[in-house]
Amino acid sequence: MSRLGYRVKHGPRNVDEIEANDFSNDLGVAWRYRFLHHAYPRAKFILTVRDIESWLRSSEVHARAAGLRVPLRRLENRYMCFGRIDFDRDVFRNRYEDHNSAVIDYFSSFPGRLLVLDICAGDGWEKLCPFLRAAVPTIPFPVENRTPRESLSSGVV
């Protein structure tokens, strides 16, 4: 998003950090999507999806590496998204599937406000830029901080 000229905040700590930027993503945005849509009814939302097994592996590695020794806001975000602060494969799987379905269902009443993007499957500029009404850059679509088959998090523009 920064390559498209947006001010970006990954992992915002609070709504003030979301408000201070053009684009924010990660768990702090994911659990607030309804509120953010009400606060910014003209905003566009991006739901990134991926293979569930790949996502679970990545989530487990991330949660176990971070453990409970992280800032309270990160634990809050984990709790708000998953209903717990520790990793549980079954709970995370159910919450992932439920969240994605709920987001898609919610935005079905707001045409043009949601883009579902599967970066791991090859979605990139060709889907993102028309949704944002932005010119397609001449550089390759960036894939950063990636382990095999890993994608990005949900975001709001």
Q: Tens digits of per-residue pLDDT, 85-129?
A: 899 999 999 999 999 999 999 999 999 999 999 999 999 999 999
Give the domain range for residue 36.
Answer: 2-156
Q: What is the pTM of this model?
A: 0.86
Q: How far apart are CA 117 and CA 97, in angstroms?
A: 15
Tens of pLDDT along the chain (157 residues) come to: 999 999 999 999 889 999 999 999 999 999 999 999 999 999 999 999 999 999 999 999 988 887 777 888 888 989 999 999 899 999 999 999 999 999 999 999 999 999 999 999 999 999 999 999 999 999 999 876 555 444 334 565 5
Instruction: Please tell me the number of Cα atoms within 13 Å of 18 on its side-chain side.
Output: 23
What are the residues facing 133 on neighbouring strands? none
SS3 labels along 63-120:
HHHHCCCCCHHHHHHHHHHHCCCCCCHHHHHHHHHHHHHHHHHHHCCCCCCEEEECHH
Q: Structural domain tally of the chain?
A: 1
Q: Which CATH number is 35's domain given?
A: 3.40.50.300
Residue type, 118: D
